[in-house]
Chain A
Amino acid sequence: MSPAVEWTLFLLLATGAIAGAYRMLRTMSMVRAGIFLMGSFCSIAGLFLLLSADLIAAMQIMMYVGGMLVMIVFMVMMSPDPGGSMMGIAPPEEEMDMQRGSKQHHDMQGDRMNQSHESADEKQYTCPMHPDVRSDSPGKCPRCGMKLQPTSGAEHGVMEMQGMDMAMTHEFTRPAAIIGFIAGAVLLAAVLSFDWPSAPGLANFDSGLIVGKELLSRYMIAFEAAAILIITGMVGAVILGRRE
């Protein structure tokens, strides 16, 4: 592989991996987040191929991308709002009662209802990710391209509607971002400050064959440990998930 091709592939795949993981956290829809993460995992599988670890790349696709599909099904089943479309619509009453269930809440709710009725005639649209983006007509957010949602009052600037909080991140997002940034930056600084030696040539390109043989001879213990781990996990998941 010529250096130009290798660099192009590497940059494409690295961008895909990082952008997929980042977009996963910034989208409002859980299903879309799952699909972004699947894209990120596929790019990482491509990076494994570039590193000539073909068996790992194939397993990455089979286990992670297949696993993500299962995750997406679970999200559709369990999340109250997998598509992010309820962001501007009031939830049904039972759900709110379950969430707060107080008399006082009913009064509050009444107040809010009145508020939203008062301002219903002046309909505005806002982006679920950028609450400061406002528009008089439906369309796309100029910053992230997401569909604008209708608002019905001032309280929709924060993403909490009438007791049921739909936001995907909590209020401590900024400290979390700082910690994540510091963790990444420290690792990045450590990586870049060290002078890594260049790669030796590969003696055997059929790494899948050798890994298979090694797994069943020299590294049998890893193979068996993985098997025990999977069985334990399976039994645990079944016990946890059963209905009593």
Chain B
Amino acid sequence: MSVPLAAYLAVSAVLFGIGVFGVLSQRGAVMVLMSAEVILNAAMLNTIAFWRYRAPNDFAGQIFALVILTIAAVEMAVGLAVMVMIYRRRKMQMVDKIAELRG
């Protein structure tokens, strides 16, 4: 392992920043969800890097990553369902125009 842990953590810090920027700046609901996925991916990369460099013989790190993966999948499914509903009622999906969830 000649690449230091800090390099992986730096990649994930940059990804996190990009994700935060995306969540705050995008208008399409799908794009906001996709940016949230970038944030979750950054967290997962961090978890796996820490597992490999700090405790490679305790596999809790990988199991934590699996849980993050599950949360991301559920988030995507529920987010898409909310969007389908909003789109059906209002025929648009720009988050800056939607101030309430109640139809």
Asked if A214 is at the interface (CB within 8 A of a chain B CB), the reply is yes
Interchain nearest-CB distance for B83 vs A (Å):
7
Check B48–A3 contact: CB distance below 8 A: no
A203 to B57, CA, bound (A): 7
Check A59–B81 contact: CB distance below 8 A: no
Asked if B98 is at the interface (CB within 8 A of a chain A CB), the reply is no
Report how many residues on chain B are interfacial, defined by Cβ distance under 8 Å. 76
Check A25–B16 contact: CB distance below 8 A: no
Check A234–B11 contact: CB distance below 8 A: no
Check A30–B30 contact: CB distance below 8 A: yes
For residues 205 through 244 of chain A, which have their beta carbon under 8 Å from a beta carbon of chain B?
Answer: 207, 210-211, 214-215, 219, 222, 225-226, 229-230, 232-234, 236-238, 240-241, 243
Asked if A37 is at the interface (CB within 8 A of a chain B CB), the reply is yes
Asked if A150 is at the interface (CB within 8 A of a chain B CB), the reply is no
A80 to B91, CA, bound (A): 9
Chain B residue at smallest Cβ distance from A187: B13
B87 contacts which chain A residues (CB < 8 A)? 78
A241 contacts which chain B residues (CB < 8 A)? 81, 84-85
A165 contacts which chain B residues (CB < 8 A)? 94
> B20 contacts which of A6, A10, A170, A180 (Cβ < 8 Å)?
A180
Give per-residue flags for A66-78: 1 if the beta carbon is below 8 A from chain B beta carbons, else 0.
Answer: 0110110011001
Check A191–B24 contact: CB distance below 8 A: no
Report how many residues on chain A are interfacial, defined by Cβ distance under 8 Å. 93
B49 contacts which chain A residues (CB < 8 A)? 51
Chain A residue at smallest Cβ distance from B9: A191
B interface residue numbers (CB < 8 A to A): 1-22, 24-28, 30-31, 33-35, 37-38, 41, 44-45, 48-49, 51-54, 56-57, 59-60, 62-67, 69-78, 80-85, 87-88, 91-94, 96
Given contacts A70-B76, A180-B25, A192-B10, 11 further A-B contacts (CB under 8 A): A22-B18, A30-B30, A56-B62, A71-B80, A176-B24, A180-B18, A196-B6, A197-B5, A198-B5, A237-B80, A237-B81
